[in-house]
Every structure is written in structure tokens, then in C-alpha cells.
Chain A
Amino acid sequence: MEFAVLLLAPLMGAIVLGFYGARRWAPEANVGFSLGTFLAACVLTARVLREGNVIAANEQFFIDPFNVFLVVLTAFVGFTTAVFSRPYMRIETEHGRIGRGRLRLYHSMYQLFMATMLVALTTNNLGLLWVAMEAATLSTVLLVTLYRTPASLEAGWKYFILCGVGIAQALFGTILLYFAAERVLGAHGVDALLWTHLVAVKTELEPRVLSIAFVFLLVGYGTKVGLAPLHNWLPDAHAEGPTPISAVLSGLLLNVAIYAVIRCKVLVEGSLQSQLPSDMLMGFGLLSVVLAAFFLWRQRDIKRLFAYSSIEHMGIVTFAFGMGGAVATFAALLHMTVHSLTKSAIFFAVGHAAQKAGSQRIEDIRGLITLNPTIGWGLMIGTLAILGLPPFGVFASEFLILTTAMRQQPWATPILLLALGVAFAAIFSRVQSMVFGETTARRLPHQPALLPVFAHLAIVLVLGLYIPPYLADWYRAAARLIGGG
């Protein structure tokens, strides 16, 4: 029941807003549908807490400790982003950047995107997971090109082609996985792609086939995570689309993609009994962290800057999953949560800041704190949080990852520390000049919604100081499931 509401609420939203998405009440309806999804996610969570894992719809969908917190997180950020998007898109319309038809497209696709991500997270069928990931790309391509500027069209094209080709590799990986599973689970078993069945027989899967499959799956889904050197689409798509979309791409889609990688990794690791999957994850992760940190220095566009920061953080998460073990996996899950909350909060603040300055170029945005202290402080605090300053949650997770790295992979620690330091200097110097200094901003026709920014940052702060026991239990249960001991 909760499942049905969780998946059908955004789907209904997509259909309704597809017809009425340009009406005056459409932004409120968008918030309403997202709230419905979030409430369904909460009820579902309560049920999981009470009864344990849930399997539904002929085993096609399931909830376990690993995906339950991602479902809640996705639904929550989806809801707050809808709240933020209400005044944001109204201002964009009044500034004449989009017309009524495009507003309809935007609202409808926003809900559809939420639906595809929730399907990807909750499906038990690795084939459906692929279908949902591809659908998530397709539903956002036209959002990236919403402004129809030459740059946005280019970003949209890159996004479509790179992610399309990437995801095609993942399909081949899925085919190989099915091929290996069929030999164990019996020919033409409809359950040969169901994760719950696969994980039960993971040690019997043919290791040679699975190692080839994993390369394709990692490259495929890794493209969507934005792992270097497959990250090219990410900064463009984040910078050129409307800001609410940047927030959900960065905060949610990357998480979902990493979720897909880890689900596959569990199977492959069980079959291979070797370090190969872990080493590959660590390698890709470390490369992404380092590359992103140095590319940060060359950015002049504020949204591109934070897009590269997302690549960096996804690299950290991937590296931590690659290290494995209870602590590192726990930290990786925590990092996914706090990154998603902090980064979307930053994008909310950046969105309104760019609207005030009338430009996304860093040098055009000055003195936010004089004209609108809440945006200024929101951006500043968000930046400090994402850079890993205590007492925010990002500090806690990065600290755990670094200390584990010192014990398990000492060679990687100096590289990680250096990259984090470089990133800190690059981002902080730019944001500081935007927040302080002479102002160039203008007044906005609608009151910006800054509650989501501070709500997210408050949660991140709490997570840095104190992780509630049930949440910690979840993370631990998920870490056990992923094979972290």
C-alpha cells in the first residue's frame, strides 16, 4: 500500500502537471505531490522499522536497510526542492527566461524524474533498475535544455549521448549478469535478475563472467555517478539547467547511480572472492577526487564550481565503499546522506544568489551579505559544511573515512588530504568574495524560499554532533548487507 502511494504519487503528479503544469497553482501542486511522496516514504519507513524488510508486487520491489534511508532521503530532498522551486521558477518566469509551455514541461518532468529514481531505488529486478536509470536520464534531458540557450543545448546533448552510451555499457553488464545467474538459478527463470535471489547464490556465480560484467556495470553506472574520467557531462548539465534540477541531479541522481554500482559490487565480490571490485572502486574514486579538486581552480561559473565539488564528493564515497569494512561503509553511507543535504542546500542558496546578481559568473556575484543576509549566510554556512569543517556531518564522515584509510590504505591518505586541501582553498576563496564585498544585487519579485536551505543545514549539523541510534542502526545494518563485516 505505502509502496503503491510512494511510486504512484509522483507518477500521478507527472500526468496531472503534464496537463495543468502552467496554471497558477501548479507550483503548489508540485509541492503537494512531493509532500505526498515524502509522507508515503515516512510511513513505509515506519513499517520497515516495525516489520523488517518488505517485499512487494511479485518480488519485483523490495526495501531493505540499504535502500530505505535512500528512499526517505530522496523523497525528502524532492519535497524541499519543490518548496524551493516554487518561488524560484516564478521569478524565472517573470524575468522572462521561460514561458508557460516550458513551465508545464518542467513540472511534469520533475515529478517523473522523482518517480524514476524511486523505482530505481526500490526495484528488486536489476533489469528494471537499468530501465529506471535510463528513464531518469531521459526525463531530465529536456530539463537541462529548458532555457534553450546554445550552451544549454550543448549540455543537454552531452548529457544525453554520454549517459546514453554509458548506460548501454551497463545494459551489457546486466545481460552478462543474467547470463551467469541463469546457469545457477535455472534457464529462463524470471527471478534470475532479482537481487534477493542473486545475493543468495552469489558465491556460485561464474567469476570470469562476473568480472567482465562488473567492468561494464561500473563504467556504465559510473558515468552517471560522474566518476572521472567519465564525468564530462556532469558540470555542463548542472550549470546549464534550472537550479532546482541542479540540486536534485547533484543531491539525488548521483546517489541513486552509486547505489546501483554498490548493489552490483556486492554480487560480484561474493562471486570473485578477490580484491578486484574494491580496487577498481578505490581507483576510480581517488582519480575523481584528485581531478575534481584541481579542476575546481579553473571554474568561473558558480554552479560549475559546485558541480565539480559533487564529483569530488562522489569520488570520496566511491573510495570509501571500495575500502569496505564496517567503518568505511558506515562512513560512506553517512557521507552520501550529508552530501546530498548540504549540496542541495548550497544549490538553493546559489540559485537565488544568481537570480539576484542576474548572472552565474562568480565575478558578477558580490556582497550577498549586505543585501540579503539570509542568502549570504546560507551560502557561507553551506560552503563551510561541504568543505568538511566541524561540527557539520560532512566532517564526521570524512574524518571516519580518512582515519580508516590511514589504517587500511595508508598510501591513499596523503593524496586524499592534499585533494581536500586544494578543494578547500579553491571553493572557500571564491565563495568568500561572493558573500562579502560591495553588492551588485537586485531585488527579486518573489520572496525566496530559504527555509529548505536552513532545514537541510540544521539536519547536517545535527548529524555531525549526534547520530540518532535508529539511524546508526540502519547504517550498520546496511553496511553489514553490503558486506562490510
Chain B
Amino acid sequence: MTGMPFDLQLLNACAALLLLLSFAMLSQRRIVSLVNLLALQGALLFVATLLLAWRTGQNHLYLSAALTLALKVILLPWLLHRMIRRLEVYWDTETMLNPASTMLAGVVTVVFAFGLAQPIAALANTAMRNAIGIAVAVILLAFITMITRRKAMSQVVGFLSMENGLFFGAMSATYGMPMIVELGVALDVLVAMLVLGVFFFQIREQFDSLDLHHLESLREDR
């Protein structure tokens, strides 16, 4: 690591922590903590975007950083915590896989992600091209989080974590998408959360629970 400027080291540290957080989310069963981890991921994204903006001097990155702070660190976690309190869902039930196999699957996924990102990273000329592999890994780990969980709330957190990974990927490969697209994506995520809020209360009203095993009656033989 000799000769690497300090801010770049900091950026890489952010990337590494992001990956670590994804693993933490994979094993966390307390939903409140899961949301906190998500907020922490958002905070790391905010720091990384800010550092990148400072380093490259691109003004639109400051705007993305502000958007990240407002949406991913403050608004979404707040909305999720509110929903958790009002719906009183604090714990996820047993995951589909036991924790050890989930972790193992996670490790294999990370190796695969770096393999997939290799040709892309080789072509990138951004400061943090090495982080592209991490971004792909975060996306895929979030995907595993989603498929191994039974509670609707944890699946949503996985979904948002996947969005974080996508954002980080765009950041490390191309310094973010054009502003109009980024604004559109942020709007979509926000609307998705609001729709989900309504939707959760509907599920709750109907089943008295947010456990997804109630939602398994639609089979082919109906």
C-alpha cells in the first residue's frame, strides 16, 4: 500500500467496511439492528461519495452525497423504524439456511463477484476501480439476504441494501450516473418505500403478521 494517497486509502477502507456490513446483515436476525446496519451502509456511501467528490472535484457528486445523506441515512431508516414500531415486528424467524451455510454461500458469492467484475475493473480508469468487485459482491450478498429471509421487513432491507450496492457500483465505475437518472432512481426508491408502507399495513390487516409463510398459497394447482 505504499504510495497510495491517504484519501484513496480511506475510500478503499469504506469499500471494505461496506462488504463487512453486508456480511453482518446476512447473519443479523434482529430487524431493528438490520435497519441500523442499513443506515450505516448508507452513511458509508455518503462518506465515500463525499471523498470522491473532493478528490475528483466533480460538483454533481456533492449533490449525490447530499441526496444519499437525506435519503439513505435519515429518511429511509426513519421510515423503517417507524414501521417496525407500529407493526411490532422485532425479530425474524429462523432463516431458511443455517448461519454457517449462509456465510459459506456468502464467501463463494464474493469470489464469484470479483471474478465477474474483473474485466470491468481492468477497463475502468476511475480512482476506485478495485471497488467494483465489492459493489457486485454487495449486490449479490443482498440478494442472498433476500432469499434466505421469511419476514417481509427483512426482505425489504435486503432490497434496499441491493440498491446501495448498485449505487456504489455506479460510483466506482463511472463516478455516478447522470443527475437526472440519479434523481429518478432516488424518487423510485422513495415511492417504493411508501407503497410498501401501505402494503405492509394491508398484509397486517389481513393476516395479523408479516411472516411470509402466509403468502404461499398461490400455487399452480389452484
A241 contacts the other chain (Cβ, under 8 Å)?
no
Which stretch of B4-12, B17-25, B174-182 is in the interface?
Answer: B174-182
List CB contacts (< 8 Å) of A146-167 with chain B: 148-151, 153-158, 160-161, 164-165
A157: nearest chain-B partner, CB-CB: B215
Shortest CB–CB separation between residue B215 and chain A, in angstroms?
4
CB atoms of A190 and B178 under 8 A apart:
yes
A125 contacts the other chain (Cβ, under 8 Å)?
yes
**Contacting residue for A151 out of B163, B180, B217, CB 8 A:** B217
Given contacts A131-B181, A131-B187, contact A142 B198 (CB under 8 A): yes
CB atoms of A183 and B146 under 8 A apart:
no
Which stretch of A23-31, A204-212, A397-405, A415-423 is in the interface?
Answer: A204-212
User: Which B residues lie within 8 Å of A175 (CB)?
Assistant: 166, 169-170, 173-174, 177
- Separation of A46 and B123 alpha carbons in the complex (Å): 45
Residues 158-188 of chain A, each 1 if its beta carbon lies under 8 Å from chain B, else 0: 1011001100100110111011001100011
CB atoms of B205 and A164 under 8 A apart:
no
- Separation of A176 and B152 alpha carbons in the complex (Å): 30
User: Which A residues lie within 8 Å of B214 (CB)?
Assistant: 150, 154
- Separation of A112 and B124 alpha carbons in the complex (Å): 39
- Separation of A295 and B222 alpha carbons in the complex (Å): 12
CB atoms of A130 and B181 under 8 A apart:
yes
A128 contacts the other chain (Cβ, under 8 Å)?
yes
A135 contacts the other chain (Cβ, under 8 Å)?
yes
Residues 130-152 of chain A, each 1 if its beta carbon lies under 8 Å from chain B, else 0: 11001100100110010011110
Given contacts A128-B181, A212-B119, contact A160 B196 (CB under 8 A): yes
Shortest CB–CB separation between residue B155 and chain A, in angstroms?
6
Given contacts A125-B180, A175-B174, contact A154 B199 (CB under 8 A): no
CB atoms of B180 and A155 under 8 A apart:
no
Given contacts A127-B180, A175-B169, A179-B173, contact A141 B195 (CB under 8 A): yes
A317 contacts the other chain (Cβ, under 8 Å)?
no
User: Which B residues lie within 8 Å of A295 (CB)?
Assistant: 220
- Separation of A300 and B218 alpha carbons in the complex (Å): 12
B43 contacts the other chain (Cβ, under 8 Å)?
no
- Separation of A183 and B125 alpha carbons in the complex (Å): 9
- Separation of A190 and B58 alpha carbons in the complex (Å): 14
CB atoms of B120 and A212 under 8 A apart:
yes
User: Which B residues lie within 8 Å of A154 (CB)?
Assistant: 214-218
B194: nearest chain-A partner, CB-CB: A138
Given contacts A151-B217, A157-B152, contact A142 B184 (CB under 8 A): no
- Separation of A35 and B163 alpha carbons in the complex (Å): 37
CB atoms of A161 and B58 under 8 A apart:
no
A298 contacts the other chain (Cβ, under 8 Å)?
yes
User: Which B residues lie within 8 Å of A267 (CB)?
Assistant: none
CB atoms of A182 and B215 under 8 A apart:
no
- Separation of A160 and B215 alpha carbons in the complex (Å): 13
Given contacts A135-B188, A175-B177, contact A161 B159 (CB under 8 A): yes
Choose among B143, B162, B166, B181 the residue with the greatest number of A CB atoms under 10 Å from its CB: B181
CB atoms of B217 and A172 under 8 A apart:
no
**Contacting residue for B166 out of A153, A168, A212, CB 8 A:** A168
Chain A residues close to B by CB (< 8 Å): 60, 125, 127-128, 130-131, 134-135, 138, 141-142, 145, 148-151, 153-158, 160-161, 164-165, 168, 171-172, 174-176, 178-179, 182-183, 187-188, 190, 192-193, 206, 208-209, 212, 236, 295, 298, 300-301, 304
Chain B residues close to A by CB (< 8 Å): 58, 60, 116, 119-120, 123-124, 139, 143, 146, 152, 155, 159, 162-163, 166, 169-170, 173-175, 177-178, 180-181, 184-185, 187-188, 191-192, 195-196, 198-199, 202-203, 205-207, 212, 214-218, 220-222
Of all A-B residue pairs in the complex, the 9 with the closest CB atoms, nearest first, are A127-B181, A131-B184, A154-B215, A134-B188, A175-B170, A179-B173, A208-B119, A179-B174, A236-B218
23 inter-chain pairs at a CB distance below 8 angstroms, sorted by A residue, are A127-B178, A127-B181, A127-B184, A127-B185, A134-B185, A141-B199, A145-B202, A150-B215, A151-B217, A153-B215, A154-B214, A154-B218, A168-B162, A171-B166, A172-B166, A179-B120, A179-B174, A188-B175, A190-B178, A192-B178, A193-B181, A236-B218, A295-B220
Given contacts A131-B188, A193-B181, 10 further A-B contacts (CB under 8 A): A125-B181, A130-B184, A131-B184, A154-B216, A154-B217, A157-B199, A161-B155, A165-B146, A165-B159, A178-B178
